[in-house]
Structure 1
Amino acid sequence: MVDHAPGGTGLRAALSTLDGPLRFLLLSSFLIPLGSFMVLPFMSVFLHERLGMGLGTVGVVLAVASLVQFSGGIVGGALADRIGLRRTMLWALIIRTAGFAGLLLALRWPPLAVGALVLTCCGAALYLPANKAYLVHGVDDERRPAFLSAGNAALNAGMAVGPLVAGPFVLSSPGWLFVAVTALFVLVTAGHARLPAAVAQEQPAEQGLLAGVAVLPFAANALAFYLYFHFQHFLAVYAVERASSAFYSLVLLLCFVLVIVVQPLASGLIRCMPYATALAVGFTGLAAGLAVLAVGTRPALLVGGALITLGDIVLFLKNDLEALARSRRSDAVVFGQQRLAAGLGACASGVLGGQVYGLTEHVGGTGWFWLLAAAQCLLLPPVLLALRDRTPAHPHPHNDEGALRPHGTDGRIPGR
């Protein structure tokens, strides 16, 4: 979810070289999450309260959707290398537009909601690796961090504004909301059809989807997303019950603002931080934030969300930097591999977390759900020490020096 950003002067100088297609792509990087996050963060509430699904069922649905959205990124990366970046993005947007149209139809036929949700996640899985690879296609190493940082800022800005705009309407007027989001995606898709074609990076001989994967960053990413998605999946139900959907939107806004503001300032420190230290700092931040959420008050929701966000800023950036440093694969494929790990973690969170949340709700103590999640943040990471990634760090195809080149993640919530 976070990208490295260079100093302000270097960033402005690099972005001044953006041409028309890349400027449109940055605009799309704002509009796409804007539309998506007008709907997706509220799906647990929509499915539970509007369509009457039990929380256990909601958890399974969200788990499947998260698995598709994140894990499917590995297919998106491979597809981009085969058919090209622009064509992959275009097909992904067509699929995602159909998914949001399906959510509108689900208001009259509720069972369609599950398939429509999965369809939108398929589109996201195909789009994101190709989007990031297109953004830096043919760009020299000096400007790549600035371009990735700009794309990440646009992504998080859209994710921040979407829930804030849609919060008051998601339960009262979901039909008009789904119409607006579908229309927005039609326009963005039409714009992508006019982008110039760009071929994906050439790859070395190894062509398997998981060839060249770095085991430890892959496992750490899966665990980080498993723990983080306790917050992503179930905060909506928890916060709306204790405050309101508008206040839940405010919590999300705070989290995204922190990513946009704090990440560029901290990225240099995170890049230089030993990997073990980064894991310790990140998981401790998640543990503290989840524990604070158990208090259940409005200030606790804000503070807990802030601490969790600071933890994920460290974890998600460092895991991707480590993965990119150890792989000879193309950017799109590496991003796809890391999204596979994220999907496995998010799926496990939905399945297990949904059952646990339903159990704690049944006994009248949902605060225990957050305390149990916090305990896992402290108990599970040491298991990673048993994983020794003995694969040496390889020079990246676009970094002859073999140094850690600043890259970033794709941003979850969303799912994330």
Structure 2
Amino acid sequence: MTPPPHPPTPTRLAPFAQFTGPQYFLLTGSFLIPLGSFAVLPFMSVLLHERLGIGLGAVGVVLAVASFVQFSGGVVGAALAERIGLRRTMLLALTIRTAGFAAFLPGLSRPTWAVAALFLVSIGAALYLPANKAYLVTGVTEDRRAPLLSASGSALNAGIALGPIAAAPFVLTASAGLFTAVTVLFALITAGHALLPEAIPEAPAQATPEVDHGERESGAERPLLPFAITVLSVYVFMFFQHYLALYAVGRTSTFFYGLVLALYALLLVVTQPLLSDWIAHLPYPRALRIGFTAMATGMTALAVGHPAAILGGALLICVGEVVLFLKNDLEALSRSTRSPAVVFGRQRLAAGIGAFASGIVGGEGYAWAERTDHVALFWLAVAAQCALLPPLLLRALRTSSRNAPGSRG
């Protein structure tokens, strides 16, 4: 007698086959939006300085303010989403962003238009991202959040990686055609968002967070912890993001640096979805230890300066990014009683604070290391921060929480 067939064994990719039509559409948009944006945004300094003749100092100020608007404006986007709804907020954000890319066309010969266009694009991004992530996770069970957010992150990073490569041949030789193509792309994406159904809000579930040493966090500490850890995670990561090019190209070549970036992007895009379920079930303290240890080890490897060490260090830092960034968002959602849009708006603000602090500290730090001809010390100092700052931050949060008015001893 023929035995009955065994039921199919679930695979790691099974959750990704169960997305809804709107979720698939938004995930596709999560690839196309950064693909179009990063086809032009990485070349803004070239456009503003070399083509329009704006001084480098002024260019730096414009780019810094635009970045700050893009990050901190997530709080405004979250508040708007609570007032008018997620779909309408995304539509408004994309309309503003489309207008921004269209304004780059006259901006190719007029500095004022170019600067205004850049700020419109930044405002659109600030409004869109919290609503986009909130729409993805609204109405889904907590165990479905990790696959959705990891797939969104992978799509985003794939678009970021491919955008500059696809646009590089056209940026200087066919700028008007490139900006026209990006504007049309965003207009089509905006039209697609108009067809999305309204998201049905739900009361967020309150999870009981796990903590080290058997300590129970106070109500004040629970939502603050992932915000503070996100600030710290982005702070240490941005040292790598900002200064790897200066460090690696001088010791290897532009080709090798491009190879490192390509492998980094590939690892990020592939591993984030595959590890999402494991990351979701990690206790938060253990995820922090794994993530910051990978960051610290990777920064230490960079200090060696050998090409193999630079590649290995970059890939270790990628592992740290995968674990920390996804886990921080999941923890922020599970610990908060506010809507997902507000949670993601706050997370976006935390990332902006971390990136801003890293820029201030990193610029002076790297300049000092270069002047003393000991650039390896820069990466060792970053590694030390990866190892020392997380436990100090956790201790400071617990102390302030115990000392807060109304806390129980």
With the shorter chain as reference, the TM-score category is 0.7 to 0.9
Match for residue 324 of structure 2 among 306, 311, 315: 315
Distance 1:12 1:310, change over 3 A: closer
Q: Which residue of 2 aligns with 1:208?
A: none
Deviation per residue, 1:13-61 (Å, 9 max, x gap):
513xx23x44332221211111122233455676677677787766655
**Aligned pair in 2 of structure 1 residues 132, 285: CA closer, same or farther (>3 Å)?**
same
Q: CA RMSD in A?
A: 3.7
Helix, strand or coil at the partner of 2:195: coil
| Partner residue, 1:119 | 120
RCO higher in 1 or 2 (8 Å CA, sep ≥ 6)? 1
Map 1:160-175; keep pairs closer than 5 Å.
160-170=161-171, 174-175=175-176
**TM superposition shift of 1:219:** 0.9
The 3-state SS of whatever aligns with 1:92 is helix
Spell out the pairing of 1:184-203 with structure 2 (5 A cutoff). Answer: 184-198=185-199, 200-201=201-202
Matched residue, 1:330: 339
Q: Which of residues 272, 275, 284 in structure 2 aligns to 1:263?
A: 272
2: CA distance between counterparts of 1:141 and 1:258? 26
Name the counterpart of 1:14: 18
Report the structure, 1 or 2, having the larger helix content.
Answer: 2
Segment drifting more, 61-70 vs 216-225: 61-70
Query: What do the CA deviations read for 1:311-335 (whole angstroms, capped 9, x no partner)?
Result: 1112112222222221111111111
Other structure's SS at 1:387 match: helix
Q: Deviations over 1:258-289 (max 9, x none)?
A: 22322233334433434333223322322333
Q: What letter corresponds to residue 392 of structure 2 in structure 1?
A: V
Q: What residue number does 2:396 align with? A: 386
Residue identity matched to 2:18: A
Match of 1:224 in 2: 233
**Hey, what's the Cα distance between the residues in 2 that align with 1:76 and 1:109?**
29
Shift of residue 166 of structure 1? 3.0
Q: 1:227 to 1:116 in 2, by over 3 A?
A: farther
Partner of 1:77: 78
Give distance in 2, aligned partners of 1:372 and 1:101. Answer: 44
Q: 139-148 vs 33-42, which deviates more?
A: 139-148
Query: In the alignment, is the contact (CA less than 8 A) between 2:139 and 2:201 conserved in 1?
Result: no
- When residues 240 and 194 of structure 1 are mapped into structure 2, their CA distance, relative to the original with a 3 A threshold, is farther
Distance, in Å, in 2 between the alignment partners of 1:129 and 1:107 is 31
Structure 2 counterpart of 1:26 = 27
Kindly provide the CA deviation profile for residues 316-355 of structure 1, in whole angstroms up to 9, marking residues without a partner as x. 1222222222111111111111111111111222233334
Q: Which amino acid aligns with 1:38?
A: A
Choose from 254, 259, 263 the match for 1:254: 263
Q: Is the CA contact (8 Å cut-off) linking 2:295 and 2:316 kept in structure 1?
A: yes
Aligned residue for 1:182? Answer: 183
Partner residue in 1 for 2:362: 353
Aligned residue for 2:109, secondary structure, equals: coil
Q: Distance in 2 between matches of 1:86 and 1:374?
A: 42
C-alpha displacement at 1:158, in angstroms?
1.9
Equivalent in the alignment of 2:101: 100
CA distance in structure 1 between the aligned counterparts of 2:24 and 2:325, rounded to whole angstroms: 26
Deviation at 1:369, TM superposition (A): 4.5
CA distance in 2, matches of 1:294, 1:365: 10
2:31 and 2:156 in contact (8 A); partners too: yes
Assess, with a 3 A threshold, how the Cα gap between structure 1 residues 302 and 107 changes in structure 2: closer, same or farther.
farther
Match of 2:214 in 1: none
- The residue type paired with residue 100 of structure 1 is F
Aligned residue pairs total 377
Please state whether the residue corresponding to 1:190 is helix, strand or coil: helix
Q: Which residue is 1:397 aligned to?
A: none
Specify every segment of 5 or more residues in structure 2 that has no aligned partner in the other structure, as ranges. 1-9, 206-219, 403-409
Q: 1:286 aligns with which of 276, 289, 295?
A: 295
Identity %: 60
The one-letter code of the counterpart of 2:134 is A
